[in-house]
A = this chain, B = another copy of it.
């Protein structure tokens, strides 16, 4: 057992396979992918990375397995998968996953290709683990996959608490000790034991409050939109391939953007926190359904139309539409009176949270400060926003 000091979980001890995986290049790369991408522009101390988060997830997976009484070969696999669950992330994590999906057709939790070769494959095989099997766990497949990726997974337990520790926003401090103690497998489904509706609710509430305050803070959303659009431009106008792109670290992406003439201005704006401002910040009720439902191509077209109407450069209008609000954790399962029930069916609080998501939902149109008035007017007309 190798003991690692962690700011959140104190000493973490990893089993040999996880300790060896830790030293591979694909996992060491996660040291250079920030957990909260552009959130640091709002919360300056949020510089923690997917590397320490991965260690934390492997640790909590170990605790969950202990509680569930699983200590055979499968346990080793789950801890390996927990440690590896984020290796598929591109630079700036969630911020670039749309680009990677559109260009490479790969979701960040599809890691089969990554595990199947090189150091990772060699390390797994040395410990009698099949890369495919681990990839399936990372994708949340099978009974034990639910521990790694599912509504009650250890991933969200770690990130909520870790993000709270590093931003200073207390809402994320869930009682993971209680959550872990309540985990059970019932008919192959990971559930919370009797008497834990409240425990399940606390997880949702923590996530909802962190969403509003941290994860979807408008400054972070603006910087994220700038980064995404300029990354697309880089791929369209330079010789950087999508395959290279997805393996960049945060800093390598920023450097590539600054080294390429067409993306340099936007990259400098991000680096110096000279961000676009909100031209539009519209509530759910005022946005037509087809705008909410717009796909990537539609969004690009709206942007061009707005820019044309406002008389500004096309790259100076960013439309940021978050899609239909949803709460994945609301389908987590709890035992109530001996039956497995969906939390959303059991808890009026969850229903309140779902409605609340809608009141907090905002569509944004961002532009340089000097042109926000013109862009607002054009966007209101192009998108058909209702006052």
Interfacial residues, chain A to chain B (CB-CB below 8 A)? 3-8, 10-11, 23, 25, 28, 31-32, 40, 43-49, 51-52, 55, 165-171, 173-175, 177-178, 181, 197-198, 201-202, 205, 208-209, 212-213, 249-252, 254-255, 271-274, 346-356, 358-360
Contact = CB atoms under 8 A, between A and B. Distances in A.
Contacts of A213: 198
B360 A356 contact: no
A348 B201 CA distance: 15
B202 A10 contact: no
A46 to B, nearest CB: 8
Given A209-B201, A252-B255, A352-B351, A272 B168 contact: no
A252 B258 CA distance: 12
A177 B272 contact: no
B44 A47 contact: no
Contacts of A198: 209, 212-213, 360
A28 B255 contact: no
A173 B175 contact: no
Nearest to A208: B349
B356 A23 contact: no
Given A349-B352, A349-B355, A175 B167 contact: no
Main SS at interface, chain A: helix
Contacts of A250: 251
Given A45-B8, A201-B209, A31 B40 contact: yes
A212 B352 CA distance: 17
Interface centre among A272, A352, A358, A360 (most CB of B within 10 A): A352
Interface centre among A51, A165, A168, A173 (most CB of B within 10 A): A168
A56 to B, nearest CB: 9
Contact of A3 (B181, B249, B255): B181
Contact of A10 (B165, B168, B197, B249): B168
A194 to B, nearest CB: 13
Given A6-B45, A25-B272, A52-B45, A170 B174 contact: yes
Contact of A356 (B40, B178, B352): B352
Contacts of A44: 4, 6, 31, 49, 51-52, 55
Contacts of A169: 5, 175
Nearest to A213: B198
Contacts of A353: 349, 352
B28 A273 contact: yes
7 contacts: A5-B168, A7-B45, A7-B167, A8-B45, A173-B173, A348-B355, A349-B356
A91 to B, nearest CB: 12
A28 B272 contact: yes
B349 A165 contact: no
Contact of A170 (B4, B47, B173): B173
